[in-house]
Structure 1
Amino acid sequence: MSLPPLKRRRAPRGAGEQLRDEILDATTELLLETGHAKAVSIRSVAQRVGVTPPSIYLHFADKDALLDAVCARYFEKLDEQMQQAAADQPNAVEVLRAQGLAYVRFAMQTPELYRIATMGEGRPGSDVDTTLNSSAFQHLLNSVQALIDEGIYPPGDPTIPALQLLTAAHGVAALLISKPYLPWGDVDEFVDQTLSAACLGRVVLGLVDGDATPAQTVEWLLDRQPRERKS
């Protein structure tokens, strides 16, 4: 049995943005409570807010647009967490590492929102892609550029290495969320080691010949180990 919507006082002039935020809050709450986007409807959101469904459509064309807006706001909050984690880090490498760790931790705090935001059907030019490109990914791009400027990463376009690092963080987050029963051991330690390998691997690739095979890269590294470690 569904409950009737709560009576809501008429919003004062200029309060449309407040109602929009309430709609986004209600949608987010329902996603977290139900655990799946399919369980959330325009009607259930309207009921939670205390308005009629037509009031929702004044702000969002359909359910997809509403979910897009929720995910876009999610990426804004993700970016805030990543920047807070990166603040006051001693160098560019630690900034990049902190951003990756914050990314995975934030994803694990709200797995359903993360699934919808990153693993739903993509629509180029959507609010989700626009927000990601202008916030979290842009700051990641800036961190890679800083490493290039300092000579730590090899010169070139920072876009590909930034995407590679984003892929590593996303892969770790997605597997931890979808397969929590795998033998991860200490999760924080696993995440840190995996992302550190991704960050520092780029340094190694910049030191060896760009055409070197993995076997040649290993040989190059072994040749540079201290003699006592070889024996």
Structure 2
Amino acid sequence: MSVEPLRRRRAPRGSGEQLREEILDAATELLLESGDAKAMPIRSVAQRVGVTPPSIYLHFADKDALLEAVCSRYFEKLHDEMQAAAVDAGSSPIDVLRAQGLAYVRFALQNPELYRIATMEQGRPGSEVDIALNSSAFVHLRAAVEALIADGIYPPGDSTMLALELWTAVHGIVALVISRPYLPWGDPEELTDRVMRAVCSGHVVSRGFRDTDTPYEIVSWLKEVADERNR
């Protein structure tokens, strides 16, 4: 049985931005309902909005452009999530960093298909998704790293590189949990907390490393410190 598209009244002049938002809303709903980008053809989006498919192409060049816009708009919300996590964590920079890592993973796993589209396919410099992720995730991670360096907790260094390393850690957790859900991860938040604790602590203790230290010497020194504390 064929389904007739909904009829939509002609929008008043100057309301093109409103129609664009309605298209994004419809596409987001279809993605969240199906959990699969393949189940979001342009025709279905147009039908849900109540317009013809050509009307979609007036705002988005193709389906990929529409998906990118959906993901970038969604990930703008991550800014508020990470900001709230920082406030709840208190004044300790290391606690803030761990809390923001948890907030990132929690947010990403709420809608795994949007995360997969946004970060697990080939990107391009300057894309809407990269801009959204930079302002909503990376900026927060780098600010936390800079606070740790300023407090002498982290060694002096490139805060951008350190933030990218931390982002790699939380992204790796999300990517594996999404793509390999059948592995025995346990609770993703507990997994994230363990990984963030290890990564964050690793940068703290690295202040005691010398450039000439071998891996064996580093491990021996860390073992001595641990043994001394546990005595």
Q: Is the 8 A contact 1:43 1:53 kept in 2?
A: yes
Structure 1's 130 and 204: CA in aligned 2 closer, same or farther, altered over 3 A? same
Supply the distance in 2 between the matched residues of 1:139 and 1:200 (Cα, whole angstroms).
18
- Tell me the equivalent position of 1:28: 28
Tell which deviates more after alignment, 11-20 or 71-80: 11-20
- Tell me the equivalent position of 1:215: 216
Per-residue deviation at 1:210?
A: 3.6
- Tell me the equivalent position of 1:124: 125
AA partner of residue 89 (structure 1): A
- Tell me the equivalent position of 1:156: 157
- Tell me the equivalent position of 2:101: 100
- Tell me the equivalent position of 1:40: 40
- Tell me the equivalent position of 1:84: 84
Q: Deviations over 1:24-62 (max 9, x none)?
A: 111111122232222322211111111111221221111
Supply the distance in 1 between the matched residues of 2:7 and 2:139 (Cα, whole angstroms).
43
Supply the distance in 2 between the matched residues of 1:205 and 1:32 (Cα, whole angstroms).
42
Per-residue deviation at 1:196?
A: 1.4
Q: Is the 8 A contact 1:81 1:102 kept in 2?
A: yes
Task: Give 3-state SS (helix, strand or coil) of 2:186's partner.
Answer: coil
Supply the distance in 2 between the matched residues of 1:160 and 1:144 (Cα, whole angstroms).
10
Instruction: Please give the residue correspondences for 1:1-231 in structure 2 after superposition, counting only pairs within 5 Å.
Output: 1-90=1-90, 91-225=92-226, 227=228, 229=230
Q: What are the ranges of 5 or more consecutive residues in structure 2 without an aligned counterpart?
A: none
Per-residue deviation at 1:18?
A: 2.0
TM-score, length-scaled by structure 1: 0.92
Q: Is the 8 A contact 1:20 1:59 kept in 2?
A: yes
AA partner of residue 151 (structure 1): G
Q: Is the 8 A contact 1:60 1:66 kept in 2?
A: yes
Per-residue deviation at 1:211?
A: 4.2
Supply the distance in 2 between the matched residues of 1:211 and 1:49 (Cα, whole angstroms).
64
Q: Is the 8 A contact 1:30 1:40 kept in 2?
A: yes
Task: Give the alignment's Cα RMSD to 1 decimal.
Answer: 1.8
Supply the distance in 1 between the matched residues of 2:146 and 2:175 (Cα, whole angstroms).
26
Supply the distance in 1 between the matched residues of 2:119 and 2:2 (Cα, whole angstroms).
32
Supply the distance in 1 between the matched residues of 2:139 and 2:3 (Cα, whole angstroms).
44
AA partner of residue 129 (structure 2): V
Supply the distance in 2 between the matched residues of 1:210 and 1:104 (Cα, whole angstroms).
33
Q: Is the 8 A contact 2:71 2:118 kept in 1?
A: yes
Task: Count residues in correspondence.
Answer: 230
Structure 1's 7 and 211: CA in aligned 2 closer, same or farther, altered over 3 A? farther
Supply the distance in 1 between the matched residues of 2:151 and 2:130 (Cα, whole angstroms).
30
Task: Give 3-state SS (helix, strand or coil) of 2:77's partner.
Answer: helix
AA partner of residue 128 (structure 2): D
Supply the distance in 2 between the matched residues of 1:188 and 1:140 (Cα, whole angstroms).
18
Q: Is the 8 A contact 1:76 1:136 kept in 2?
A: no
Supply the distance in 1 between the matched residues of 2:139 and 2:104 (Cα, whole angstroms).
14
TM-score, length-scaled by structure 2: 0.92
Structure 1's 2 and 121: CA in aligned 2 closer, same or farther, altered over 3 A? farther
Per-residue deviation at 1:77?
A: 1.4
